[in-house]
Structure 1
Amino acid sequence: MSSFPDYYALLGVTQSATTEEIRQAYKKESLRTHPDRLTKASSAEKKRATEKFQAVADAYYVLSDPTRRSEYDVLYASQPRRSQDPNASSNFFSQFANMFAGAAGGSGAGAGQPGTPPAGQRPDAEGVFSDVFEELLRPEVERRVSWWAYLGAVCGAGVGFIIANIPGLMLGAVAGNRLGAIRDAKGKSVAAVFNQLGGNQKAEILRALAMKVLGSAF
């Protein structure tokens, strides 16, 4: 391997950082590098941001779990050339992901969560992000998915009017609205809803998260 990923440097923490310090560092770096905040970026800029976002997720995935971290540290100490280049992280997982097989069901942060991949695979960056930000993402996402309730009301009203004119319209609107609200609230995880939102909506949510976590909208 020409270069070894320096996950501590990627997250901006020291080797003695606690699990909580690593979690907080990940929150900050993932918000700074999340590609969906770049609504006007070129395809090349979006690609670079996506690669950096993935590398930051890799760093959190490895360092947040005590077993994965200890195995990584053994290699880290033996590598003279360390890099923050996202390609170094990609190369690392292509060669060493299987070393984490024993930690796949570990007790570290994210174990069993959306961002935790099958043994031997690279973590899903969006899954890691949604896992860590679940508590903050939920209210932001729920404010932006009420359109199903409105759509349900409109469709229900239309069907009701066809069947029973004005009274049917009113009853259909109420029923449709309730069904739409159920569709908003159930059946999908916060991560799934967030990933299906439009680019501008995702950027707005990321700015709101940045204000809460970083104290600024980037």
Structure 2
Amino acid sequence: MSKFPDYYQLLSIPQTATPDEIRHAYKIQSLKTHPDRLVNATQAEKKAATERFQAVADAYYVLSDATRRREYDTIYVSRGAQGRTGEPQASANWFNTFASMFGGGVPNAGAGSSAGAPGTQPDADNVFADVFEELLRPEVQRHAPWWSWLGAICGAGLGFIIANIPGMMFGAYAGNRLGAIRDAKGKSVASVFAQLGGNQKAEILRALAAKVLGAAANSF
């Protein structure tokens, strides 16, 4: 019998986690595992990160919806600790095997909005986009007329935390690009982010990870 994916383990949360705790855990794990952070990684490292990023998105898709979570928990308990695993590949296998498990369930407007037909594996990038908008909203969606300047300032500040002066330069440029494209086209933060270069994406993700992980550490 194939291993059952332990989504609680993948998100590093207890089975009793609240919806807010699940969402916060997803923010942390998605930023840790996002493949765009690995600019100079090998193909093998990139592939492993992509698989884990997808598995984390799967976990959030299932656990963030009350109906899907209830159906998942029924099998979770029946499998027992020995039948569960936190290995990412188990998630892909499970979605392929149990494609009809969530039959009758309609993907919600949040985590599952881009999952396709009920029971199919969610699109990890689109699952992340929803939370990414929330993460960057305080940085770029302020009441100011010039997004490019605001983005540069915010990016510089976040970049300085990561890598001092070099990080500040990268962060300022990336933040400026986010704001400039928003000024010109009025696009969402997530869609603008998708247009950035690899190094720019990596800097923004690292800065956000440091911010989220720092906030998580201070909450304990």
TM-score bracket relative to the smaller structure: 0.7 to 0.9
Q: How does 1:69-88 map to 2 (within 5 A)?
A: 69-80=69-80, 81-88=83-90
Q: How does 1:59-78 map to 2 (within 5 A)?
A: 59-78=59-78
Q: Is the 8 A contact 1:130 1:137 kept in 2?
A: no
1:98 counterpart SS class:
coil
Post-superposition offset of 1:208: 1.9
Letter in 2 for 1:202: K
1:202 maps to 201
2:119 maps to 120
Letter in 2 for 1:135: E
Post-superposition offset of 1:6: 0.3
1:95 maps to 97
2:98 counterpart SS class:
helix
Unaligned runs of 5+ in 1: 149-179
2:99 counterpart SS class:
helix
1:173 maps to none
Q: Is the 8 A contact 1:4 1:92 kept in 2?
A: yes
Post-superposition offset of 1:59: 0.4
Relative to structure 1, the CA distance from residue 20 to residue 71 in structure 2 (aligned partners, 3 Å threshold; closer, same or farther) is same
2:111 maps to 110
TM-score by length of structure 1 reads 0.74
**Counterpart-to-counterpart distance in 2, 1:207 and 1:144:** 17
Q: Is the 8 A contact 1:34 1:53 kept in 2?
A: yes
Letter in 2 for 1:201: Q
1:37 maps to 37
**Counterpart-to-counterpart distance in 1, 2:122 and 2:60:** 10
Relative to structure 1, the CA distance from residue 97 to residue 194 in structure 2 (aligned partners, 3 Å threshold; closer, same or farther) is farther
Number of residues paired by the alignment?
179
1:143 counterpart SS class:
helix
Q: Percent identical across equivalent pairs?
A: 59
Post-superposition offset of 1:143: 3.2
Q: Is the 8 A contact 1:58 1:89 kept in 2?
A: yes
Task: For residues 70-95 of structure 1, give each alpha carbon's deviation from its aligned partner in whole angstroms, at most 9, with x where no partner exists.
Answer: 00011111214101111100011112
1:103 counterpart SS class:
coil
2:50 maps to 50
TM-score by length of structure 2 reads 0.73
2:101 counterpart SS class:
helix
Relative to structure 1, the CA distance from residue 213 to residue 20 in structure 2 (aligned partners, 3 Å threshold; closer, same or farther) is same
2:191 maps to 192
Aligned-CA RMSD value: 2.3
Q: Is the 8 A contact 1:37 1:206 kept in 2?
A: yes
**Counterpart-to-counterpart distance in 2, 1:197 and 1:118:** 30
Task: For residues 150-183 of structure 1, give each alpha carbon's deviation from its aligned partner in whole angstroms, at most 9, with x where no partner exists.
Answer: xxxxxxxxxxxxxxxxxxxxxxxxxxxxxx9432
Larger Rg: 1
Unaligned runs of 5+ in 2: 141-150, 152-173, 216-220
Letter in 2 for 1:59: A
Q: Is the 8 A contact 1:67 1:106 kept in 2?
A: no
Post-superposition offset of 1:14: 0.8
